[in-house]
Amino acid sequence: MATVEVMKGLGPDVRTIKLNGHVGFDSLPDQLVNKHVAQGFSFNIMCIGETGLGKSTLIETLFNQRFEFTPSSHEVPQVKLKPHTYDLKEGSVKLKLTIIETSGFGDQVNKEDSSKPIIDYINQQFENFLQEELKIKRSLHTYHDTRVHVCLYFIAPTGHSLKSIDMVTMKKLDSRVNIIPVIAKSDTITKPELQRFKTRIQNEIANNDIHIYQFPTDDETVSEQNSIMKNLVPFAVVGSSDEITVNGRKSRARQYPWGAVLVDSEAHCDFVRLREAMLRVNMDDLRERTHAMHYEHYRRQRLAEMGFSDEDKLSLQEMYEKRRETHQAELQRKEEEMRQMFVVRVKEKEQELKKAEGDLQTKFEAVKKQHADEKRKLEEKRQGLDEEIAEFQRRKTAADNRNNLASGTSFTLSKSKKK
C-alpha cells in the first residue's frame, strides 16, 4: 500500500506518493533515447565568410570526413547559397548533416545586399517548417528539418578589428540563427596579436549589441565546460586534413618550413574546444534554441500577419471565421476599388477614342479636300493637254496640206518643162 504525503508549501491538493514496489516508468528516458536513436537526428550548419578563409576545410576537419565541396572563385556576381546534405553515422547514432555554403560572400564591390540571400534562405526554411506544421495531415516525425541550427561566422585574421560587413551581417542574423564567431586561419598571426584581436572583437560585438550564441551555464553537468568555452569566443581555429607523425602518433596539422601547427593541440588553436562546444556538449541546445527561440519568433510574426492573436478569446474555428470574414471584406473592398477604377479607365479610354476619332475625321477631311484639289488640278491639266493635242493635230493637218500642195505644184512645173 502506498503512503500519501502532503508536499509542504504546495497546498493540500498536491501530493507525492511513495511506491512500495517497482512499476517501470523509470525506463522512460531509455525509451526516449531508443526512439530518437532509431529515428536519427538532423543538424544544419551554415558557414559564412569571405572566399578563401578555409570554411570547407574546417568542416571536413570537424567531422573528420571528406565532403564534395566545389571551390568558389572571387568572381561570383552575387552571393549564392549551396546546401549539401550528407548521412553520417557514429556508433549507433545516425546524423543527417546539412552544410550551407555562402559562395561569393563579400566579393562584390557593392556589399549592401550581401546578407539578403542569407536572410531569405533562413526565413524560407522557417516557412517550410511552419507550412508543414499547419497542414491537416502532418508528418513531422519524417519531415527533414532544414532550419539552420548554427552559423559559423568566419572572421578574417586581420588582427585589427571586425569589418563593417561582418558587423552588419551578424546584427541582421542574430535574431534568426545561433551565431558562433571563429577567427579563420588563426595561425597567420602571433599569439599576442591573436589575444588582442579576440578582445577587440568581443568589445565590438558588445558595443554594437550583437547577440551571438551564449553557451548555457545553468546545467551543472556542462556549466564548467561552457564557462571556459564562453571565454574563448571567438574561437581561433585552424583546419587541415593533412596528417603528419609527431612522437610516433599521427596528427592533423599544417606543415610550414619553420614547423607544424597541430590542429588537435589546444596549445596551437581552439579547434578542439570549438568541436566540443558545438558537437559534443551543446549540439542539442543549439537545436532546441533554434526551435524554441528563433523559429518561435518567426512563427509568432507570421501568425500575427495572418491575423491570429492570443488576446482574442476565441477558438481556432471562430478566429478562422473572423479572419475569413475580414479577408472577404477586404476582397470585396478591393473588388469595388477595381470596378471603380475599371469604370474610370473605360471613360478615359472612351474619351481618348473619341478624341482620336475626331482627329482622324479632321485628317480625313483634310486628305479628302487635298484629293479633290489634286483631282481638279489633274482635270485642268488634262483639258490643257487635250487642247494642246487638238492644236497639234490641226497644225499637223495644215502642214500636211501645205506639203501636199507644194508637192503637186512642183510636179506640174517639172512636167511642163519636159514638154
Angle at 68 between CA 64 and CA 72, to 5 degrees: 115
- The Cα–Cα gap between 209 and 174 comes to 10
Cell of 212: 551571438
Q: In sequence order, which residues have a C-beta less than 8 Å from that of residue 63 and are 6 or more positions away? A: 88, 97
| pLDDT score at 2 | 43
Inform me whether the pLDDT recorded for 12 exceeds 80: no
Inform me whether the pLDDT recorded for 7 exceeds 60: no
Cell of 397: 493637218
- The Cα–Cα gap between 192 and 199 comes to 11
- The contacts found for 299-305 with CB under 8 angstroms, 24 or more apart, are 299/126, 299/130, 302/127, 302/130
Per DSSP bridges, beta strands 93-103 and 150-155 are unpaired
Top pLDDT among 348 and 108 is at 348
If we measure between CA atoms, which residue out of 70, 67, 57 comes closest to residue 239? 57
- The Cα–Cα gap between 180 and 149 comes to 11
| pLDDT score at 419 | 55
| pLDDT score at 287 | 92
- The Cα–Cα gap between 182 and 166 comes to 12
- CATH fold, domain 26-311, is Rossmann fold (3.40.50)
Asked whether 69 and 84 are in contact (CB, 8 A), the reply is: yes
Task: For 176-198, write each residue's pLDDT tens digit.
Answer: 999 999 998 888 888 889 899 99
Domain ranges for the chain: 26-311, 314-379
Task: Determine the average pLDDT of the residues in 85-102.
Answer: 89
State in Å, rounded, how far the first CA of the chain is from the last one.
186
The mean of the pLDDT values for the chain is: 84
Q: Classify residue 245 by its DSSP letter.
A: E
Q: The cell 583546419 sits on which residue? A: 239
- Report phi then psi at 123, rounded to 5: -65, -35
Asked whether 274 and 182 are in contact (CB, 8 A), the reply is: yes
In this prediction, residue 27 has a pLDDT band, given cuts at 50, 70 and 90, of confident
Task: Determine the average pLDDT of the residues in 403-407.
Answer: 81
Task: Determine the average pLDDT of the residues in 329-341.
Answer: 91
In this prediction, residue 296 has a pLDDT band, given cuts at 50, 70 and 90, of very high
Task: Determine the average pLDDT of the residues in 310-315.
Answer: 63
Task: Determine the average pLDDT of the residues in 294-299.
Answer: 92
Task: For 149-176, write each residue's pLDDT tens digit.
Answer: 999 999 988 878 888 888 999 999 989 9
DSSP three-state, residue 36:
helix
Inform me whether the pLDDT recorded for 6 exceeds 50: no
CA atoms within 13 A on the CB side of 162: 26
In this prediction, residue 36 has a pLDDT band, given cuts at 50, 70 and 90, of confident
Determine which of 293-297, 338-342, 373-377, 399-403 has the lowest per-residue pLDDT on average: 399-403
User: How many residues can be counted in the chain?
Assistant: 419
Asked whether 119 and 176 are in contact (CB, 8 A), the reply is: yes
Q: Where are the alpha helices (DSSP H) in 40-137?
A: 55-63, 116-134
What's at 77, amino acid-wise?
A: P
Q: In sequence order, which residues have a C-beta less than 8 Å from that of residue 289 and are 6 or more positions away? A: 178, 213
- The Cα–Cα gap between 57 and 184 comes to 11
Determine which of 11-15, 101-105, 206-210, 324-328 has the lowest per-residue pLDDT on average: 11-15
Cell of 416: 511642163
Inform me whether the pLDDT recorded for 16 exceeds 80: no
- The Cα–Cα gap between 269 and 194 comes to 10
- The Cα–Cα gap between 146 and 154 comes to 21
- Report phi then psi at 219, rounded to 5: -85, 125
Task: For 346-391, write each residue's pLDDT tens digit.
Answer: 999 999 999 999 999 999 999 999 999 999 999 999 999 988 898 8
Cell of 166: 561582418
The count of other CB atoms within 10 Å of the CB of residue 157 is 18
Give 61: exposed, middle or buried? Use CB within 10 Å, 0-12, 13-18, 19+. buried
DSSP three-state, residue 177:
coil
Asked whether 176 and 122 are in contact (CB, 8 A), the reply is: yes
Task: Determine the average pLDDT of the residues in 68-81.
Answer: 75
Angle at 97 between CA 96 and CA 99, to 5 degrees: 150
Inform me whether the pLDDT recorded for 5 exceeds 60: no
Q: Output the CA torsion sign for 172, 176, 177, 179.
A: positive
Task: Determine the average pLDDT of the residues in 251-279.
Answer: 84
Task: Determine the average pLDDT of the residues in 201-210.
Answer: 91
Cα 68 from chain centre: 23
Asked whether 152 and 180 are in contact (CB, 8 A), the reply is: yes
